[in-house]
Structure 1
Amino acid sequence: MIVQIVTPQLELWRIGGQFSNLPHAHEGEFQVTVPVNGTCFFTQENKEYMVAGGSGLVQHPLENHSFNMGHDAEVLVFKIGRGSLQELVPYTELEFAVRQAFDPTIVSRHFRRWMGALLACDPTDRLAQEETETAVLQFLLGNLAGSHDHASKTYTDLPVGAFSSDPYLRHVLEYIHAHYADEIHIDALASIALQSRFHFIRSFKNAVGVTPYQYVLLLRIEEAMRRLERTELSVTDISCSLGFSSPSQFYRAFARSAGMTPEKWRNSRT
């Protein structure tokens, strides 16, 4: 069984059962391999490793590696571009310990949530994708031992609510309110806040209570409710005019928020 999800920032793999691959290397990517069941047998840079639950192995860019496992084993694989991680700790040369410690129950739970979020996400909705990408990268950087240990703590562990007094938050909110019906990217919002996108998502949620994507979605649904109640525009026209990639995406978001379909909402207001 192999499940793979690829986004612009990373790849997530879940591999279960009998498996082996040929020696290979990734030019500009780190790979983190975490067994959650059974045992994996790695060959990495001419060294042999036996890796079981509770541990993980890091493959740095250009390191030659391969692995095999039996029918009762299962691994989670993260492939991340060097630049994606470097954005989180921009002044640190990244070097991770080869062997790492992971709680298989915790990492499996997070992995299922990330996979579910990315599978449910419309591929054209980059704002939602970026938030999940950021959650994965922050989890890895917070759990991997390496050269970034000190830098990551000072860079990301800011007091809750610290962003609430930042004058740039007002500019971010003004921008969102002016453009919530358009395509919005995390990088654009982070640049207004003068922060990295990784720092920005955490800061925004601390200050506002929800993530940027959730806030944009809230504004879109609130405006959809107003238009359903006050106009005769079709549901398709409303969804397109508010930045949803398709009517089906709009239906799902509206039903989660309102507890009913757009048509039922409109009928309940007449």
Structure 2
Amino acid sequence: MQIQLTLPQVEIVQIVNRFENILHSHEGHFQMTIPTHGTCYFTHENKQIALTPGEALLLNPSDRHCFHMGDDAGVIIAIARGDRFHVAPPGERDEAALRKWIEPGIVKAYFRRWMDLAFEHPNVELLAAQESETRILDDLQQLMWGGEGRRQLDTEQKRRFSPSDRHLMEAMEYLRAHYTESIKIDDAAAIALQSRFHFIRSFKAATGYSPYQYVLHLRVEEAKRLLLRTSHTVTEISFILGFSTPSQFYRVFEKSVLATPEQYRNGK
């Protein structure tokens, strides 16, 4: 059995029970393999490795590998683009750093959270997909390198970028000006002079919203105005505001307002 989540920069796969693949590599992508139960028999660059639950293996781009396992085993695999995944904190970039022990229960909890992200936005907009993959990549960093890795990344980001309130405000104004359009998180982060990772965290710290949640907030507020002051249909409003489908608009509006668009329009 396989469950898969695919986003532009990262792919997450859970495989349970008997599985076998052939020798291959992922050009330009890192792969993290974490057995959750049973034994995963791994071949990495012609070296045989028996991975037991919690023994995480991080492969560099172009590493040739394959694995097989029986009916009593399962793994969670993350494949991420090289330019979106930090290999290791400074001083840990040797072969020994490719293997880490991670509590299987924690990995499973993270996996459930990643699947929730996918189900939260079934009709994925670009900004939502980018936020989700950023959160997943951030989680992967935390899983692989722990608190020290998170501190290293934060320190590097703060040293590289010199964020100020003015730049963050300019990014917020950019979102306000384009909230009905397809927004790229990297465009807003560049305005704030921050990386994608740091921008999402600093924006939420400043506003209480993630960038995508803020866009949805702006859309809902404008929807309320349009429902009360225009004769546009609910379907028309959903497309005016940039929702991918009317059903997505219904879901977001009702969750925020605790009423359907029609109920809100009729004052119920």
User: Is the shorter-chain TM-score for this pair beyond 0.5, marking a shared fold?
Assistant: yes
Q: Do the aligned partners of 1:11 and 1:79 also contact (CA within 8 Å) in 2?
A: yes
| Identical residues among aligned pairs (%) | 45
What CA distance in whole angstroms lies between the structure 2 residues aligned with 1:232 and 1:59? 57
- Equivalent pair of 2:123/2:248 in contact (CA under 8 Å): no
Give the TM-score normalised by the residue count of structure 2: 0.89
Aligned partners of 1:197, 1:80: CA distance in 2, in Å?
15
Contact 2:154 2:198 in 1 (8 A): no
The corresponding residue for 1:55 is: 55
Cα distance in 1 for partners of 2:198, 2:93 equals: 18
**Cα separation, 1, equivalents of 2:91 and 2:133:** 20
Aligned residue pairs: how many?
Answer: 262
Tell me by how many angstroms 1:184 deviates.
Answer: 1.3
1:254–1:95: structure 2 CA closer, same or farther, 3 Å change rule? farther
Between the aligned partners of 1:10 and 1:178, the Cα distance in structure 2 is 29
Partner of 2:233: 234
| CA deviation vs aligned residue, 1:135-174 (integer Å, no higher than 9, x gap) | 111122233249x94742513589xxx96x5211111122
Partner of residue 44, structure 2: 44
- For 1:183 and 1:202, the matched residues in 2 are separated by 21
CA contact (8 A) 1:21 1:68 kept: yes
Q: In the TM superposition, what are the counterparts of 1:128-207 in structure 2 within 5 Å? A: 128-145=128-145, 149=149, 151-155=152-156, 166-207=165-206
What residue in structure 2 maps to residue 220 of structure 1?
Answer: 219
CA distance in 2, matches of 1:103, 1:93: 20
Counterparts of 2:180 and 2:247, CA distance in 1: 17
**Quick one: structure 1 residues 110 and 245, their matched pair in 2 at CA, closer, same or farther if it must change by over 3 Å?**
same
Alpha-carbon distance in structure 2 between the residues aligned to 1:11 and 1:59: 14
Equivalent-residue separation in structure 1 for 2:119 and 2:248 (angstroms) = 13
Structure 2 distance, partners of 1:26, 1:71, is 26
How large is the Cα RMSD of the aligned pairs? 2.6
Q: TM-score, normalised by structure 1?
A: 0.88
Q: How far did 1:33 drift?
A: 0.6
Structure 1 alignment gaps of length 5 or more: none
CA contact (8 A) 1:10 1:78 kept: yes
Q: Which residue of 2 aligns with 1:79?
A: 79
1:30 maps to what in 2? 30
Task: From the superposition, tell whether residues 52 and 156 of structure 1 become closer, same or farther in structure 2 (CA, over 3 Å).
Answer: farther
Shift of 1:54: 2.1
Whether the 8 Å CA contact 1:122–1:245 is kept in 2: the answer is no
* CA–CA distance in structure 2, aligned partners of residues 262 and 153 of structure 1: 41
Tell me if the contact between 1:56 and 1:100 (Cα under 8 Å) persists in the aligned partners: yes
CA offset at residue 124 of structure 1?
5.0
Pair 1:92–1:255, CA change in 2 (3 A): farther
SS of 1:42's partner is strand
2: CA distance, partners of 1:218 / 1:168: 21
User: Any stretches of 5+ residues in structure 2 without a counterpart?
Assistant: none
Per-residue CA deviation, residues 216-246 of structure 1 (Å, 9 max, x unaligned), is 1011011111111222110011010111111
Distance 1:124 1:132, change over 3 A: closer
Query: Bigger CA drift: 26-35 or 257-266?
Result: 257-266
Q: Check 1:134–1:92 CA distance in 2 against 1; reply closer, same or farther (3 A cut).
A: farther
Shift, 1:15, TM fit: 0.5
Return the alpha-carbon distance in structure 2 between the equivalents of residues 39 and 174 of structure 1.
52
